[in-house]
Amino acid sequence: MLKALIFDFDGLILDTETPEVLVWQSIYREHGFELPVDEWAKTIGGYGISNFDAAEHLSSLSLGRLDVDSLKASHLKESAKIVHASQILPGVISLIKQAKEKDLRVAIGSSSPHSWVDSHIKRLDILHYFDCIICQDDVPPGRTKPNPDIFLKVLGTLNVKHDEAVVFEDSINGVTAARRAGIFVVGVPNQLTARLGVSGDITVSSLAQLSLYDLNEHLKKRR
């Protein structure tokens, strides 16, 4: 019996990933280089697939002429402007409201720190929808996605079993973490993560394509 929905944050509730890559592309081109987008995309949701660092890579391409910390500061400043003007992705609130109508628990499980997730959740005025928010800060260092710790912590906090929850994820690292936790996962790849072949137990291009009824029908077929 379905009791809880667990949402990733970056790229799933809020599109923070497209602004990040667009700003990196702009910075790279400003210095005469191209960002290796496929390599960067592997870091989305955690560093299980790649340890690629866009600032360190660009500094290396410039033979050390460009300072890593300055590049990161410039990127953060410009991408933050875009992200802070961004709104919730389609279908998210509708699905959450459907869940609440059925008395399901709703949570966030994110590899980002609370300082990042909580600030946006408050800005978007959606904190009241969530029964718990588990982030990078809530698990041991190095145990974010693709490790299952974040999702296992959510299950424990909500007091639900792995087969009573569904995870929504946009990245390979997130899908892997959900599977390692034994939780049914809906893959919702974005333009970046679709390049890596992200797929869950079911996969949709947008949560606007999925209702709670549809989700329950998929779960029935799985049993």
Q: Note whether 97 and 205 are same-domain residues.
A: yes
Q: Note whether 94 and 202 are same-domain residues.
A: yes
User: Of the residues 43, 62, 83, which one is the last residue of a structural domain?
Assistant: 83
For residue 203, pLDDT beyond 60: yes
For residue 130, pLDDT beyond 80: yes
Q: Note whether 77 and 92 are same-domain residues.
A: no
Q: Note whether 97 and 118 are same-domain residues.
A: yes
For residue 207, pLDDT beyond 70: yes
Q: Note whether 128 and 186 are same-domain residues.
A: yes
Question: pLDDT tens-digit profile of 28-86?
Answer: 999 999 999 888 877 776 555 568 899 999 999 999 999 999 999 999 999 888 888 88
Q: Note whether 31 and 131 are same-domain residues.
A: no
Q: What is the pLDDT of residue 131?
A: 98
Give how many domains the chain has, as a whole number. Answer: 2
Q: What is the mean pLDDT of residues 120-128?
A: 96
CA-CA distance, 135 to 116, in Å (whole number)?
10
Q: What is the pLDDT of residue 162?
A: 97
Pick the catalytic residue: 10, 15, 149, 170?
10
We report the CATH number of the domain holding residue 176 as 3.40.50.1000
Q: Note whether 101 and 160 are same-domain residues.
A: yes
Nearest Cα to 57, choosing from 80, 25, 81?
A: 25
Q: What is the pLDDT of residue 69?
A: 97
Q: What is the mean pLDDT of residues 119-148?
A: 96
Q: Note whether 72 and 93 are same-domain residues.
A: no
Q: Note whether 49 and 139 are same-domain residues.
A: no
CA quadruple 51, 152, 207, 205: dihedral, nearest 10: 40
Residue 8 is among the residues annotated as catalytic for this protein: yes
Peptide bond into 148 cis (omega under 30): no
CA-CA distance, 186 to 215, in Å (whole number)?
9
Strands of 165-169's sheet in order across: 132-134, 105-109, 4-7, 165-169, 184-187, 202-203
CA dist list (Å): 55 to 21, 38, 89, 116, 213: 12, 15, 28, 20, 44
Q: Note whether 61 and 104 are same-domain residues.
A: no
Q: Note whether 206 and 105 are same-domain residues.
A: yes
Q: What is the pLDDT of residue 107?
A: 99
* Residue 128 φ/ψ region, left for φ over 0, alpha for ψ in the -120 to 50 degree band, beta for the rest: alpha
User: Of the residues 64, 83, 102, which one is the last residue of a structural domain?
Assistant: 83
Q: What is the pLDDT of residue 222?
A: 76
User: Of the residues 36, 60, 83, which one is the last residue of a structural domain?
Assistant: 83
Q: What is the pLDDT of residue 98?
A: 98
Q: 110: domain range?
A: 4-15+87-222
Pick the catalytic residue: 8, 15, 138, 170?
8
Least confident of 59-63, 163-167, 189-193: 189-193
Q: What is the pLDDT of residue 19?
A: 87
Q: Note whether 135 and 191 are same-domain residues.
A: yes
